[in-house]
Structure 1
Amino acid sequence: MFRTALTKAASYGLRPVLTSRTSAVAMTRSMGHGPVESDAEFDARYENYFNRADIDAWEIRKDVESYREEHQITVKGTNVPEPILQFSELNIPEKLMKEIMRQKYEAPTPIQAQGWPVALGGQDFVGIGQTGSGKTLGFILPALMHIAKQPKREPGDGPTALILAPTRELAQQILKVAEIFGKTFNIRSACIFGGAPRGRQMFQLQRGVDIVIATPGRLIDFLESSVTNLDRCSYLILDEADRMLDMGFEPQIRNIIERINPERQTMMWSATWPEEVQALARDFLKSYIQLNVGSLSLSANPNITQHVKVCDEDEKEDKLKELLMEIRKEDEHKTIVFAQTKRKVDWLANMLRRNDWPVAFTHGDVSQNRRDLALDRFRTGRAKILVATDVAARGLDVDDVKFVINYDFPNCVEDYVHRIGRTGRSGRKGDSYTFFTYENASLSKDLIKVLQENDQKIDEKLMEMSKFSRRGKNSKFQQRSDRGYGSRSGGSYGTYRKSNRQFSDRDGYDRNNSFNNTGWRNRDDNRGKYNRSLHDEDW
């Protein structure tokens, strides 16, 4: 047993740790050695096999199945290595370990714990997990180890590692992680995306880089103009593969992959596992191991407490101000406010500035320089509030975002899950607040499913709305093509609004569209307009 364990550990760079002399003697006997007569003799013989100062990883490994069950980890494939539960189990250079500690990582996340042994062993890999799961470092660290083992890059060589991402925001976030840890090996990285001048990006590629992080369209542009090549590439990452396919990048992805050496190592990361992503994996990955953390369907991060309030459109401005006043009382109050349109983002940002809130904003019409400036102000805390469209929902990676507010509900529940996933990252707790109007009634059933999966409190009005909603199939829970806001003649929306008036006394909803007993703001509450607690039952 111990011989097998040692062989498996060595295959992905791990070192067994034995603190018990009894277990050590058992190991030596199983390997064909006689009894050890003294600790000194044993230490001299097997000093390369164990380190008594480290954590007893083999004892922890007895609970591997319990660990997987606790973190909802499922794995498919052959020769699946066991997870690593402590950074000390990684056989990586000391300078890289010091950088991990400097960045205040305490322990591997579940997707890192199971994914690193697979990636470091050179196997193809599909990782499916929620946002904020630590996947970026999950593929950057193996990439650095892979690059460090390759021959020195020569002038004219293309990158060794290629990471494809759906948006420039996500690509820039990946670049930051690559630069932080890549400096320990003097590894160069470049970020290639559309919407920015080609000149600087072209210069970086021609100078030579080890890692290219790119959106598919701009990379195709540079490949077809011979600015760079993928002849040397042997490590490929497809990040947020489902999102790239949703955005129509499949032809570009296939074009790019066909230019890469088929002997490469390929890893694919996705939040969901639809048929389109499965087909891509079948076509381009070899004997891959599939790792799922959580459900295969889209689900919200369980570290996020979700608060949903049904209200009218004209009530949202006052409710936002009330909520921000309460959030300001918290020790950590960095907040993202999502709106559905660029015009709404502009309006919200101006309204909040007029009320002396430190706010930054971003959307698709904001220039790249202004967008970078806004995100930098938000990350550094000079602006505590960021107002954004969905352009930031998947690209923004700021660990200390405590609150997410959906001022407007998105067009599908999938986008809702990705929005609220900007909080509760890296094991932290977070809160999301959502204003859900009657115009969103067709999405009520799907939203309730997300809430129920994580045992969240559900607004009675939302439950009532779902009973009158004719359809609720606006997400990957059902067919993506089945979208809409009810029928043109009014449909479920009109029916529910009429019915809701009939229960005004019971539900605390009066004919003037103001909440009474069950709303955020109780008009009979003597504590004042902005004096509700975030922990009140109204949420």
Structure 2
Amino acid sequence: MVGTSIDCIVRTLLNQLQSYGGYNHSGGYGGGGGGWGHGGGHDDRMSHLGGGLRNVDWTNTKLEHFEKNFYIEDKRVSARSDREIEEFRRSREIKVQGRDVPRPVTSFDEVGFPEYLMTSIRAQGFDAPTSIQCQAWPMALSGRDLVAIAQTGSGKTISFALPAMLHINAQPLLAPGDGPIALVLAPTRELAVQIQQECTKFGSNSRIRNTAIYGGAPKGPQIRDLQRGVEIVIATPGRLIDMLETQKTNLRRVTYLVMDEADRMLDMGFEPQIRKIVSQIRPDRQTLMFSATWPKDVQKLANDFLKDMIQVNIGSMELTANHNIQQIVDVCSDFEKRNKLIKHLDQISAENAKVLIFVATKRVADDITKYLRQDGWPALAIHGDKEQYVHISLNSSIAYQYAGGNEIGRRISWTWELIGILREAKAVVPPQLEEMASYGGSGGRGRYGGGRGRGGGGGGGRYGGGHGGGGYDNGYGGRGGGGGGGGRW
């Protein structure tokens, strides 16, 4: 029941949003009762990670000079008028901010990549750079600190990976005991593995080595990679701090830092770990931050870590839905959800469609799969504890559990924002959803309703309404557990 061409129906089954909990600053992610959230506190060891790291006195540390500006503007780019540049940016929905922002390129040939990278690019059969690549490559190759706001699937990975290859090859070779030259921080192991695959694909011709460091996997192979020496480390914050505290690697050689999906890392509570990691990296590094959204907490992180930064935004900063997808929201209580799920599946099956069902936790994925199989549906669960690989060919998707907010573009908010998305997409807004939105401040969203407190509201498990146990996969390997007050969000 999984699949890729999402062209029919997205059916979203919502929990009663009033039951969502908040973030408990005194005890991690709190617990609560009722529903599928698998409540339970999350006073996880993530909050204690990094306590063993020594503070580095960078003001009294002699830093070796390193090269980070490799960009020479192509003559074809220089020959374009300002009006032509503006028209190109407008046509590609590129918006830039900052001092002396480099002009965008329009083709791979204009970037000035060396032949070993061009060979890899040609091997992938790409016709032209994506919008983010057109603007981000000149910015990154210039050695500037960069913020890039672009949706997932925009080609952002090689926007930072290819400049990283040039940066690495311009630095002295690694000596025994050296850590990486380029560090990429990612929120989840799945994204870390995806980035590693791209780095392997494009770094093979230049013999640049990489490894992915993330929780939920054996440490042994990761430690061996680090001890052999790798130029690129892609890591989730928790596992990386573990490796640093146990002195399996160090960040003394890092001069190229990437924070990918920065908004999601903050949503997952990684900000303290990110700050501890960055404190171990020389302050004159080049820093690149990629994010799908640009809320105040991400802006503050950028202002703290980036110097004289330049910024590129791709597309609208407003949250919108894909108009090629029919959006249907069905507001229901927990006890109604299974019957409604079967009802929707019966309707979809008449179209001979394949379906992807999103849930909040691994446990719910297994529970729903078992339930559907008992009802005669050929269901299969996919999550981090599963090893099977499934061909995806999707016609419809169902969000069985409302993921604490809208994951279109990964911006998390409350009912009023979901209503705005539905209206913008010219979709039907259920009266029940309108009624919920009118309730106002009962348990609002911290990030979009008054800061990062993720405050207020009654009970709730991971997303509001749990039945004990739970927590979430934090990329470190643990799921959490423990007592009271509020859900993950």
| Same fold by TM-score greater than 0.5 | yes
2:410 to 404, 414, 418: 418
Q: Unpaired segments of 5 or more residues in structure 1? A: 1-9, 18-55, 386-400, 421-441, 489-539
Alignment deviations for residues 321-364 of structure 1 (CA, whole Å, 9 cap, x no partner):
43255263xxxx6x53202343431133235556463634215x
Q: Are the counterparts in 1 of residues 185 and 237 from structure 2 also a CA contact under 8 Å?
A: yes
Cα gap change, 1:169 to 1:359, in 2 (>3 Å): same
| 1:13 corresponds to 2:13 | no
- The structural deviation recorded for 1:291 is 1.6
2:370 matched to which residue of 1?
350
| 1:319 corresponds to 2:344 | yes
2:399 matched to which residue of 1?
406
SS in 2 for 1:63: helix
| 1:112 corresponds to 2:138 | no
**What code does the residue aligned with 1:188 have?**
R
Q: Are the counterparts in 1 of residues 136 and 159 from structure 2 also a CA contact under 8 Å?
A: yes
Which structure carries more relative contact order (alpha carbon 8 Å, separation 6+)?
Answer: 2
SS in 2 for 1:108: coil
1:339 to 350, 353, 359: 359
| 1:444 corresponds to 2:415 | yes
Once residues 273 and 156 of structure 2 are traced to their aligned partners in structure 1, the CA distance between those partners, rounded to angstroms, is 23
Cα gap change, 1:61 to 1:349, in 2 (>3 Å): farther
Q: Are the counterparts in 1 of residues 331 and 430 from structure 2 also a CA contact under 8 Å?
A: no
1:250 matched to which residue of 2?
271
**What code does the residue aligned with 1:254 have?**
R
Query: Which entry has the higher C-alpha Rg, 1 or 2?
Result: 1
- The structural deviation recorded for 1:446 is 1.9
Cα gap change, 1:461 to 1:251, in 2 (>3 Å): closer
Once residues 166 and 283 of structure 1 are traced to their aligned partners in structure 2, the CA distance between those partners, rounded to angstroms, is 19
Alignment deviations for residues 439-489 of structure 1 (CA, whole Å, 9 cap, x no partner):
xxx943221112334x3323454675467554595474433656677899x
SS in 2 for 1:362: coil
Q: Are the counterparts in 2 of residues 443 and 471 from structure 1 also a CA contact under 8 Å?
A: no
- The structural deviation recorded for 1:141 is 1.0
SS in 1 for 2:129: coil
Cα gap change, 1:478 to 1:70, in 2 (>3 Å): farther
- The structural deviation recorded for 1:180 is 0.9
Alignment deviations for residues 119-177 of structure 1 (CA, whole Å, 9 cap, x no partner):
01110011122222221111111111111211222222111100111111111111111
| 1:457 corresponds to 2:427 | yes
1:499 matched to which residue of 2?
none
1:3 matched to which residue of 2?
none
% identical equivalent positions: 42
| 1:81 corresponds to 2:99 | no
- The structural deviation recorded for 1:302 is 4.3
SS in 2 for 1:91: coil
2:165 matched to which residue of 1?
144
Aligned length: 384
| 1:289 corresponds to 2:282 | no
Q: Are the counterparts in 1 of residues 186 and 236 from structure 2 also a CA contact under 8 Å?
A: yes
Query: What RMSD, in angstroms, separates the aligned Cα atoms of the two structures?
Result: 3.2
| 1:66 corresponds to 2:37 | no
- Counterparts of 1:468-483 in structure 2, within 5 Å, are 469-470=439-440, 473-474=444-445, 476-479=447-450, 481=453
1:225 matched to which residue of 2?
246
- TM-score, L = length of structure 1: 0.64
| 1:307 corresponds to 2:327 | yes
- The structural deviation recorded for 1:59 is 5.5
Cα gap change, 1:91 to 1:361, in 2 (>3 Å): same
Once residues 186 and 324 of structure 2 are traced to their aligned partners in structure 1, the CA distance between those partners, rounded to angstroms, is 25
Once residues 84 and 116 of structure 2 are traced to their aligned partners in structure 1, the CA distance between those partners, rounded to angstroms, is 30
- Counterparts of 1:254-293 in structure 2, within 5 Å, are 254-293=275-314
Cα gap change, 1:227 to 1:151, in 2 (>3 Å): same
Alignment deviations for residues 223-260 of structure 1 (CA, whole Å, 9 cap, x no partner):
12221111111100011222222222222212211221
Once residues 458 and 70 of structure 2 are traced to their aligned partners in structure 1, the CA distance between those partners, rounded to angstroms, is 56
Once residues 349 and 383 of structure 2 are traced to their aligned partners in structure 1, the CA distance between those partners, rounded to angstroms, is 19
Higher helix proportion (structure 1 or 2): 1
Once residues 87 and 264 of structure 1 are traced to their aligned partners in structure 2, the CA distance between those partners, rounded to angstroms, is 26
